[in-house]
Amino acid sequence: MSHASADADVLDPAVWPASAHRDAAGAIVVGGVSAPELVARFGSPLYVLDEDEARARARRIRTALADAARAIGTEAHVYYAGKAFLSGEAARWMVEEGLGIDVCTGGELAVALAAGVAPALIGFHGNNKSVAEIERAVAAGVGTIVIDSEIEIERVARAARAAGRVQRVRLRVNSGVHASTHEFLATAHEDQKFGVPLGRAVELGVRIRAHDSLDFLGLHCHIGSQIFDAGGFAESAARLLDAHAALLAGGEVPELNLGGGFGIAYTSDDTPAPIEEIAAGIAAAVADGCRERGIRPPRLAFEPGRAIIGPAGVTLYTVGTVKAVPIDGGVRHYVSVDGGMSDNARPALYGADYTVRLASRTGTADPVLVRVAGKHCEAGDIVVDHDQLPGDVGPGDLVALAATGAYCWSLASNYNHVPRPPVVAVAGGEARVIVHGDTEESLLARDAGLRGRN
């Protein structure tokens, strides 16, 4: 696939934060702060998060889902999926924009609580929550816990009983729908680790209700990620509504949680439908499904992560070396940067694609085909498989990667003893560190075998 833009310096507004533009010197500016200024102050590589973009996306998605739910006579609760990127600041932005926070480990729970998120706004899911994590979540008073397996019914019930609480719970179900980007696959069973088979949802819902210490909210599913339209959500909702309706015979089922997974544009080739259109499509499917079954539409719940924080992030790197490598029919320019799979594992992990642009200036030569590589000892350490940069790109130039706000910092490692970069939030011309980076010193301090040090 070739990228649509012929101009290797253009910032496609579908891919870059709304605030992104070039200043008089040609440098990329995000949140009112230029890339060279950011790197001069905070170093390279650098994760940059546009606070206004993250907040605006949270607001727009929450509003779209709430409006679509209201149009079918119900309401929508929106939780930010913290696994995409969770820090104290980010958690507070989301709460201020009217979202709850979805966490899936004790560590994420600890961040949300330490950030001051009201426990009632927190949802806790995960396929292997430890007993200690469940006890901690119950004791903290988290709003909801997603029961992911038969075994967990007892575990959560016992923890709630011991704490003298009634814990609100959802039951995670495999709808048999797995969706990504343009298509969804619908099967009788889904062969994956999360949730219980749809065929057991009613039986296990009844089991949950038998516990006085549990308050059954409804069914939960999450069908995939980077989904561009409503089709997979609609199919999944339709499937879940059968079990939902059957459970209504034995009591209230106030909610249906359809998870997250709304897609974003990493390159100009990605064309996710507007969230308003997706929300309306999901709501229509729920309304139709409820009418057919003669039931009232339940409250809807959603857990978007990537669609909120992904496009708000930009990673800045410094170019070290450039090599022209002959390939069939031309030349590929390998542009190596001072980070790589340690700060962005997604290309190596699942072939993710990104957009790269010169960030410290504009080019003076015609665009060339580039592959942006990291500095790690791994041939698969590729940051951008293919894009165009001006042919004069060279050592010392800054480059920026778009849409790195989700699943980059949160998946970062110290591979090759490379320190993880800090995360800097930008807004209104101001920049501040919201998560500190590692230093060589902080990495060495963990090594108990370094004599005279620890």
Catalytic residue IDs:
377
C-beta of 219: minimal distance to ligand PLP in Å? 12
Of 112 and 307, which has the nearer Cβ to ligand PLP?
307
* Ligand-binding site membership of 47 (annotated): no
The correct pick among 31, 82, 143, 305 for binding ligand PLP (CB under 6 A) is 305
Of 16 and 124, which has the nearer Cβ to ligand PLP?
124
The correct pick among 27, 39, 81, 348 for binding ligand PLP (CB under 6 A) is 81
CA 150, distance to chain mean position in Å, is 27
- Binding residues for ligand PLP, how many (CB under 6 A)? 17
Selection from 68, 91, 67, 87 nearest residue 79 by Cα: 91
* Ligand-binding site membership of 303 (annotated): yes
C-beta of 321: minimal distance to ligand PLP in Å? 34
* Ligand-binding site membership of 53 (annotated): no
C-beta of 76: minimal distance to ligand PLP in Å? 14
C-beta of 85: minimal distance to ligand PLP in Å? 9
The correct pick among 36, 100, 304, 313 for binding ligand PLP (CB under 6 A) is 304
C-beta of 363: minimal distance to ligand PLP in Å? 34
Separation CA 221–CA 186 (nearest Å): 14
* Ligand-binding site membership of 306 (annotated): yes
Looking at 180-188, 240-248, 300-308, 436-444, which segment touches ligand PLP (CB under 6 A)? 300-308
Looking at 179-187, 280-288, 299-307, 342-350, which segment touches ligand PLP (CB under 6 A)? 299-307
Residue 83 interacts with ligand PLP (CB under 6 A): yes or no: yes
Interface with ligand PLP in residues 389-418 (CB under 6 A): 406
Separation CA 429–CA 11 (nearest Å): 19
Measured distance between the N- and C-terminal CA atoms of the chain, rounded to whole angstroms: 51
Separation CA 153–CA 15 (nearest Å): 43
* Ligand-binding site membership of 428 (annotated): no
Separation CA 168–CA 146 (nearest Å): 9
Distance set, CA 153 to CA 194, 207, 214, 242, 249 (Å): 15, 8, 9, 22, 21
Of 36 and 143, which has the nearer Cβ to ligand PLP?
143
Separation CA 337–CA 43 (nearest Å): 13
C-beta of 380: minimal distance to ligand PLP in Å? 23
Environment class of 6 (CB within 10 Å of its CB; exposed 0-12, middle 13-18, buried 19+): exposed
The correct pick among 3, 136, 211, 222 for binding ligand PLP (CB under 6 A) is 222
Separation CA 233–CA 300 (nearest Å): 12
Residue 137 interacts with ligand PLP (CB under 6 A): yes or no: no
Peptide bond into 298 cis (omega under 30): no
Selection from 70, 72, 105 nearest residue 286 by Cα: 72
C-beta of 19: minimal distance to ligand PLP in Å? 22
Looking at 41-49, 162-170, 253-261, 443-451, which segment touches ligand PLP (CB under 6 A)? 253-261
Interface with ligand PLP in residues 255-274 (CB under 6 A): 259-262
Residue 122, helix vs strand vs coil: strand
Of 157 and 179, which has the nearer Cβ to ligand PLP?
179
Of 178 and 306, which has the nearer Cβ to ligand PLP?
306
Of 84 and 142, which has the nearer Cβ to ligand PLP?
84
Residue 125 interacts with ligand PLP (CB under 6 A): yes or no: yes
* Ligand-binding site membership of 378 (annotated): yes
Separation CA 282–CA 276 (nearest Å): 10
C-beta of 171: minimal distance to ligand PLP in Å? 13
Separation CA 78–CA 62 (nearest Å): 6
Residue 191, helix vs strand vs coil: coil
What residue spans of 164-230 are helical by DSSP H?
Answer: 201-209
Distance set, CA 406 to CA 135, 256, 264, 353, 380 (Å): 29, 25, 10, 13, 21
* Ligand-binding site membership of 294 (annotated): no
Separation CA 280–CA 276 (nearest Å): 6
Of 84 and 401, which has the nearer Cβ to ligand PLP?
84
* Ligand-binding site membership of 346 (annotated): yes
Residue 225 interacts with ligand PLP (CB under 6 A): yes or no: yes
Separation CA 355–CA 247 (nearest Å): 47
Give the contacts of 177 (CB within 8 A, at least 6 positions apart).
Answer: 184, 185, 186, 190, 221, 223, 232, 235, 236, 239
- Chain positions contacting ligand PLP, by CB under 6 A: 81, 83-84, 102, 125, 222, 225, 259-262, 303-307, 406
Annotated binding residues, as ranges? Answer: 261, 303-306, 346, 350, 378, 407
